[in-house]
């Protein structure tokens, strides 16, 4: 199932942790999560990809509760709702460039998001977009 022109449901559910631990519920999310993933892809990931001009590498999208716990995710993580994705381009430098570009696109009014987080000195970038309610446009650092 395609969630947007360049993002599939399969891509947003992929989890090495779930595969390693035979957690099958990771790959059958509730309908509300699929709705949230469609929204995330349409309103945030697809626009970032188009502004960036190339593919995005989603290292983590939806996480079922068991996977979220195993990876040390917060109990209220937006990944549990299908409202968040982690992006990783393989180097801190590349992640930092994308983060800075997203900040600039936000300033210019091209993007809206709930949270943009620099995780552990650009080890990866967390982006989120709410299905309902006001997006906070928070730019945060986790170290």
Percentage of the chain with pLDDT > 70? Answer: 100
Q: Which residue is listed with tokens 């709702």?
A: 81
- 5/16 Cα distance (integer angstroms): 24
Domain count, the chain: 1
Across the range 13-41, mean pLDDT stands at: 97
Q: How confident is the model at residue 10 (pLDDT cuts 50, 70, 90)?
A: very high
Q: How confident is the model at residue 70 (pLDDT cuts 50, 70, 90)?
A: very high
Predicted local confidence at residue 19, as pLDDT: 95
Predicted local confidence at residue 114, as pLDDT: 98
Predicted local confidence at residue 124, as pLDDT: 97
- 112/105 Cα distance (integer angstroms): 9
Per-residue pLDDT tens over the stretch 131-140: 999 999 999 9
Per-residue pLDDT tens over the stretch 79-120: 999 999 999 999 999 999 999 999 999 999 999 999 999 999
DSSP characters for 13-62?
H--HHHHHTT-GGGGS--HHHHHHHHHHIIIIIHHHHHHHTS---EEE--
Across the range 36-58, mean pLDDT stands at: 96
Structural domain range at position 32:
2-142
Return the CATH number at 7.
Answer: 3.30.1380.10
As given in the structure block, the two tokens for residue 113 are 């998001």
Predicted local confidence at residue 129, as pLDDT: 98
């Amino acid at each position: 199932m395609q969630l947007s022109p360049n993002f599939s449901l399969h891509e947003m559910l992929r989890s090495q942790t779930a595969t390693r631990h035979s957690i099958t519920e990771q790959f059958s999310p509730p309908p509300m999560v699929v709705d949230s993933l469609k929204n995330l892809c349409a309103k945030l990931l697809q626009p970032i990809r188009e502004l960036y001009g190339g593919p995005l590498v989603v290292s983590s999208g939806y996480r079922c509760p068991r996977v979220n716990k195993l990876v040390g995710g917060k109990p209220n993580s937006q990944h549990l709702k299908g409202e968040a994705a982690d992006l990783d381009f393989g180097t801190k430098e590349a992640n930092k460039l994308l983060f800075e570009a997203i900040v600039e696109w936000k300033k210019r009014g091209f993007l809206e998001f709930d949270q943009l987080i620099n995780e552990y000195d650009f080890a990866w970038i967390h982006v989120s977009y709410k299905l309902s309610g006001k997006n906070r446009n928070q730019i945060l650092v986790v170290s």
